[in-house]
Each structure stands twice: as C-alpha cells, then as structure tokens.
Structure 1
Amino acid sequence: MMIYQKLNLKTKILLTMVLTFLLTIGFVGGIVYYQISQLTQNDKDLFKNVVLEKEKQGSKFAVETIAQSLSKFYNENKNKMSEEELLKEMRKISEAVQFGEAGYFYMYDYKGKVVGHGANQSLVGKNLLNLTRKRADGTDQYVIKDLVEAAKEGGNYVVSLWEHPKTGELEKKFFYVSPIEGTDYWIGSGDYESIISKYLDKQNGKIDQFKSNIIKILIISLILVIVVSTFISARFSNYLSKFVKKILNGLNEMAKGNFNHKLNINSHDELEELSVTFNESNKKIRHLIKKVSELIEELSAYSEELSSATAEENYITDKSVDTITNIINNIESISINSQEISSLSELATSQTETGNDNLKDAIKQINEINHSINYSVELIQNLDKNSKEIGKIIDFITNIAEQTNLLALNAAIEAARAGEAGQGFSVVADEIRDLAENTSEATDKISKLIKETQQNSQKSLDSIINISKKVELGNQLIEKAGESFKEIQDSIKQTSSSIQSSSSSTEELTKKSTNVSNSIMEIQSMSQNINNSSHELADMAQHLTELMEQFEI
C-alpha cells in the first residue's frame, strides 16, 4: 500500500485498471475452466453409461436369443430324448456359443444347481445357491439366489463384485439371466464393466483433447484481452494525466499568487466542468483581492486623517494648558490682592482713593479672568466637538475592519473549498483577518479613550462654568464694594467680611482651575494615545498593502 501511494496518478490509474481486468478475467476464466471441466466430466460419464448400456443390451440380446433356441430345442425333442440327453445337447449348444472377448453362458435349475458352464466344466452338478460375494458396503450378497429370483421374474440384470480372471481384483460385473421357457432351467451370461475401458480411454482422450483446445483458445483470448485492456488503460491514464497536470499547474500558479492563469480544457466531460469552476473561483478570488486592496487604501487614508486630527488636538490642548496656567496665575494674584486689602482694611479710611483705584484694577482683572474662562469654555467645547468627530472616524475604521474580517473569512472559506491548492491563500486570508481583528481592538481602545476624554471635557466645562459664576459673583461683590466705598469708614467690618469671602472664593477658584488644568493634561495624554493608535493603524494598513502586492491580479 505504501508503494502504491508513492506512485503518480497515471501509474495508479493504469495499474488499477489492469489489475481490475486481470481479476475479472481470472474470475471469468476460472468459471469457464470449471464449467468446461464439468462438461467434459459429464461427457465422460455419459459416454461410459451409453457404452455400458450398449454392452448390457448386447448381453441381454445374446442370453434371450440362446434361451429361445434352447427352449425350442427342448420342447421339440423332450418326447424323443431323455432328460439327460436333452441337458447334454443343451450344454453343447450353450458352450459352443461365445460373444465378446470373454463372454460365455451358464445354465442353472431354480434350486441353484449348475447344469452347464461354458468357462468351468468342473462346476456342473454342484449346487451354488448359497454362493456369496461382498458388496461395496461390506455385507454379503447371495449372487445365485439373486440370479434365480431374476429368472423367476422373467429375466433381469444383477450386478455384483467379482474377481477378474486376468487381474484377480474385485470388479463390478453385470449379469443377465432369462428363463428357458417350457423347462425347469434358466440361462445367463455377463461381463465386467472394464470391457468398455478401451472405448472409454479412446473417447476420454478425444474429450481431453477438446478440453485442452478450448483452454488454449481461452488462454490466447485472455492474453489478447489483457493486451488490449492494457493498451486502452494506458491511453485512458494518459488522457486523465494530461488534464490533471493542467489543473495542477493552475493550482501551483494560484499558490504563487498569480490569479490571472486560466485553464483551457475541452474534454466535454467533468474535467471541463472542473476547469470552468476553477476559472470562476479564480475570478472571484481576484475580485475579492481587488476589493480588499481598495479597503486597505481607504483605511490608510483615514489613518492619515486621524493622525492629522490628533496632531491638531494636541496643539489645541497645549494652548488650553497655557490659558489655564494664566488663569491660575491671575487667580493667585487676586488672592494676594485680597490679602493685601484685608491687611490694609484698617487704613481704608485714609486710603479710600487708593482703595478705589485697587477696586477698579480688581474689576478689570476679574473681567480678564472671565474672558479667559469664556475662551477656555470655547476651547473645551471645540475639544468635545473634535472628540466626537474622532469617534465618527473610529466608527468608520471599525466598520472597515469588520468588513475586512468578513472578506478574509470568505476568502478562507473559498481557499478551504479549493483544498490543498488553496492553503497558501488561506494563510494570507488568516493574516488579513488577524490584522483586521487587531485594527478592531485598537479602534475599540481609541473609542474608549475618546469617551473618557469627552467625559473629562464635560467635567472641565462644568468646572469652568462654575468658576465663571464665582468670578461673576466676585465682580458683583467688588462693584458693591465700590458703590459702598464712600461709606467704607462706617462699614470697615462689613468690607473685611466681604474681602474674606472673596479670598475664600479665589482659593476655591484656584483649586477648580488646577483641576481644569489636570483634566486638560489628561486630554492631552489621550490625544497622544489616539495619535499612537493612528500610527499603528497606518502601519497595519501598510503591512496589508505589502501582503496584497504579493498577488498578481
């Protein structure tokens, strides 16, 4: 079996067909040989039975003829001659007649006494009624008694085993006896079955010669059939091998990445259908590779756009950090001013003019802070808007990755249908699917980071709005202090309380501004992560492009 597996397809087909023919021919030849053997054996048996029956009929005719002659002689002379004289003359007549090579007659009365014997005169006068011979099964056969009974029945055959006078061996001998009408005697004769041996040998020789001739003809016919079947098998195996090599060449070209190769088989059978199917599959795979290449180009373009967007986002967040830093510095200045105002509140009466000027400066500074806060709100809103745009881009990239994964799965299925020939493309399809899955995982990570950025942006926005309210409240307090400045001498305690409240608010504002700065720094870090992911996505797209360039479509 191992040797058979190592053979090429042409040799396998040829060997299989020749062995099939040989087994079939051997089986049919065996049956024919068996039937011829049976037929020749039946012919031999039939010829033996026919010749033996002919000999029996000849013996019967001779016995009945001599019985009739003796009966006629006895009845014509029984009144002229004594019983002894009649028996003497009857013996002479029977002993004088012979037939065949060793045929003779014998006469008995119905009590088993020998009256005449053509082969052994010494038996005349003896009673052999109890003479026995062994049967084939080993039992005794009373031969003379059986002959007496056959004579009483009017004549019949008796078969017994008897010693052949020439060989001394037991052999089947057939007897025929007939009554001598008008007397108390019967006469019989017989012969050995071997008497027909020379006829059988001659005829069996002819039958064996006929059998030999038939077998020779059969052998010659089988040899011719083997030669013809081998020739036909060789032609058929060459026919199949030629087209299989074409198909194998096409599959090798596909394995090398060449999908422009076409099979041209005009056999008007299943092989032509196979070539048509191969060409259709090749066409579908070529179309699939084109579509994947287009998607990879789109993916590369979107990764570049994402990288550009993240770069712009980093620039905006850098500016936001600078702005928040200025806000914090201004708030710290407000806090310092508030402390100075508190320490100079005892001298407010003598320095009202100076205090009025400080209040104006404070109002101006708070307006600047409010302006900075509004600008920060606008920046954070833009940041939130850009994050949403990035989310849309990420969703689009995710959709492309899912389509790429689906196309890679379909390509793997088509490669599996192609069998061993599609294994090379199946590896490429698996790698494409892995890259698509990595892309999908990267976009999921980016999406999560964008959501966190949007949440932190919202928190920053809420904090800045709260700061804006605090600043507005401080502005109102300072304006109120300005309106009441003329009565500052009478309201020093109230002014001190208001200044303390303003100082507390500025401290809280400082804390909120610091939180906003931290949030923007986190947004900046997220943007950097998005930028890194976009670069990874671009690298993946480049790798996919290199893989697609391996295919010739």
Structure 2
Amino acid sequence: MKNSWIFKRIFFAFVVVMLMMFAAAVMTHFILSVIEQASNRVDVARQAGAELLNAKSAHMLWMRNLQQMFIDGKLAPEPQAPTDCTFGRWYYSFTPDPEYADVYAKLEAPHARLHQIGHDIWELYRYGDTQRAMQIFNSQLMPLADEILALLTQVQQEVEAHGAAVAARAEQIRQWSEKGIWVLMVFGLLFAFGISFTTARTISRPIKTIASTAELVAGGDLTRLADPGKVKGEIATLTTAFNTMVAGLQEIVKTIREQALFAKEASESLSIASVESSRAGEQIAVTIQSVAENSTEMSSEITRIKQLAEELNQVSFEAKGLSDRALHVAEDTAESAERGNAALRASIEQLKTVSETVQFATDAIQNLGRRSEEIGDIVGLIDGIASQTNLLALNAAIEAARAGEQGRGFAVVAEEVRKLAAGSQDAAQKITNLIEDIMSETTVTTQSMEVNAEEVAKQLLAINQAAESLHEILVKADQTRAAAEDMTNIAAELTKHSQRLERLLQSIAQAVQDNAASSEEVAASSEEQNATAEEVAATAHQLKEIVEILTKSVNRFKV
C-alpha cells in the first residue's frame, strides 16, 4: 500500500496511544513494585521492632531469674550462649537495612558480654561463692543490662523511623506516578481526538465531491468527472478509480449501441436459419429410425453369443477348480513324503547313535571283564600273601612259646598278625567270589549287547530301504505337482481368455444398445430440434424487439 496516507495517520495515532498506554502500564508496574518493596520493608521493620521488644522482655525476665536466685537460694537454670537465646537466634539470622545497620551491629558485643557475665555469676553461685556472684551481678551485669536495654530502645526507634520513612517515600512515589498516569491519559485522549478530527475532515470533503458527481452520472450524464483537488493517499486513489469507472461506463454504452445494431441484424438471419434447420431435422429422423431397427436385430444375435461365452467361462472355471484341487493334493502328498523322509533320516541318525552307544557299552563291559580278571589276579596274590603271613605268625607264636616269659609280648603280636592274615584271606575270598559273579554277568551282558547291535543294524537297513522308497514317492509327487501346476496354468489362461471374450461381447452388446438408444435419442433430438427451430424463430422475433428497447434505453445517456 504505497500511498496509504490515511492508514499511516491512523496507525501513527494508534502507535502513540499504545506507547502511552505502555508507559502508563510500566509506571503502574513500577508503583506496585515500589509499594510492594516498601510494604515488605515496613513489615520487616515491624517484625524487627517486635523482636527487639521481645528481646527486652526476655532479657529483663532473665535478669529477674538471676536476681531471684539470690533471694530464694535456688540455683537458676544455666544461662544459654548468646547465639542460642531467642534474641540471639533472630539477631544472627536477620539482615538489617543499611540505614540502621551500624546501630544494629553495636548490640552484638554487649549482648555476648551480658551472657558471659551471667554465666560467670551462675558458675560462682553453683560453687558456693554467693558473695562474689552478687557483687558481679550488681557491679557489672546490671549496668551492662541497662546499656543493652538502651541500645535495644535506640535500635527499635531507628527501625520504626526507617519504616515510617520508607512508607512516606512510597506514598510520595505513588502520588507522583498517579499524576503522571493522569497526564499521559489526558494527553493521549487529546492526541487521539485531534488525529481523528483532522482525518475525518480530510476524508469527508472529497467524498462529498465524489457523491455529487455520482448523482449526475446516475442521471445519465457520463461527461462529468470528479475533481481530485489537492487530496492524496487513499482519497486520491478513490477519486481516480471513480473517474476511471465513469470513463469505462462511457465505453460500455458506446459498445452496447454498436452491439444492439449487430444483434438486430443477427436476429433476422437467425429466423431464416431456423426454418432451414427444421427441414433438415425431419430428414435425419427418418434415417435414424432405420438405424435403430438394425441395431435391435444385432443386439439379439450378440446376446446369444454372449450366453455361449458365459457357458465356456463356467467350464473353464470348473476345470481350474479341479486343477487347483489336484495341485493341492499333489502338494500335500509331497509335503507328507518330505516329512516322512525327514522323520526316517532322523530315525537313521538316532539308530546310528544307538548303535554307536551299544558298541561303546559292549567295549566298556568287555574292558570291565578284563579289569575284573586283573583284580582277581591281584586278589589271588593278596590271598597268597595272607597265607604266608598266617604261616609266619604261627611260627612266631611257636618261637614265642619257646622263649617263655620274654616272648609273651611277641606271642601276642604274632596272634594279632595271624588274625589279620585270616581276615585278609576271608576278604580276598569274598572279593574273588564277587569278581567271579561280575565276570559271569559281564559275559551275559556282552552277549546281549552283541545281539542288540545286530538287531539295530537290521533296523537301520530296513529304515534305509524305506527312505529310498519315500524318496521315489517324493520324486513322483514332485512330478505330479508340476503336472498339476501346468494344468492349473492352462485352466487359468483359458478362464482369462473366456472372461476377456465375455467382456468384449458385453462391450459390443453395450455399444449396440447404446447405438440403438442413441438412434432413438437422435430421433427424439430431431423432433426436439424441429420444435427448437420454431422456438428460435419466435426468440429471434423477441430479440429484435428487445434490441429496439435496449437502443432506446442507451440513447438516454450523454457520452
């Protein structure tokens, strides 16, 4: 919008008003912030004053308790550290404003000294030095307490004065800001009113000029144009557009006059052409009637051919169904044969594993027999050693008997050795019997394992023969499946061509029917054309009358 003069003026006024509103909002926010800060600081000052007042009361009560200790003779509770009392905890957690921070800091040392002296008095009293404790209480603690109370009073006054000053300053800022906001609002309203008044006055004058010119144009005088004067922006654009519209109306009226003359001549020519068109339509209707009769006969023949094509399609569909079933049976047979072949291969592998296991067990049992024979030999050797030991023990007993009293101990040892030899012989005999039983059972087991190995070999041979038979069945099933697939493909192609033939016949039948229908429609259209030609002739006459009326209406405009 290159020449948007009105828009610029209104937008400028809007921006100025918005800036003033923004400034008023900022000032309001500033006032609220200052008031909030002042309120917080006043609350802090009030809290500090309350804490200081509590500190006075607490320390006066503490002094009274110490003094009561001297009167009642009962030891008071031990004084707390300066950081543990109620005032101390608040004092070290509170941050004072800079205005009274110096006076506030003066409380720390006297307060700590007060608690130290109080603790010293309590210690002296506890250990029985009552006189010394009372002397310190009167000479040091009381003056120091008065000093602290005076400082607390001074700090309290400073805090209250500071709170009052903050509140007064906040109230002063609030009043000044309210005045500034009112000034901005009044100035903004005056500025907006001035912009609105001048803009409305600038717009209304040229619009009145355009309105008076438009009344003349509405009366038929297209020679009058609006005077643009010294206006600019959208008003100048509106004036130019109005003058352009009037010039366009002049051209339209001129063109309508010329076209009215042309339409009058065309209506006369149209009346003549409508008569000739009516005659040609009658001849076309006769020809189309003959075409419609031939199309009806052709449609009957195509219907019979279509029925034969549908029967062929049904036969092809049934043949495809039989081929599909044969293919499914062949595939199922091939899958069953494949599963049987896989099961036989698994059985062969399992029988091979069983055969190897039987052979391994046979070898192990035979090795066990050989080891049993070796153990028997060792047991025989042990039996011989036991016999020799028994004989030696007997000889030793005889020699001990000859030795008399000196050989009595040796005789006892010889008797024990003889008993051990006899036990060894009995154990060796038992082991020999067990080994003989194991060897006999090993022989029987070995013979049974050899028979099992022969049976496994026979089963393995039979299964291999069955696997070869299944492989032949699988080959035949694959051949059957291939033949069924070929048959299915042929049936599918036959079905496809039958369906295509049926679609072609249906298209031809539809075309013939459409041709017949079109012929009937053309015949009807010819009749309608005759009626239309008559209507065109009447319309041409009416058009001529309308053109004459239009010419009279246009002639009232002055161009």
- Give TM class, smaller chain: 0.3 to 0.5
Higher relative CO (Cα under 8 Å, sequence separation at least 6) belongs to 2
TM superposition score normalised by structure 1? 0.35
TM superposition score normalised by structure 2? 0.35
Q: Greater strand percent: which structure?
A: 1
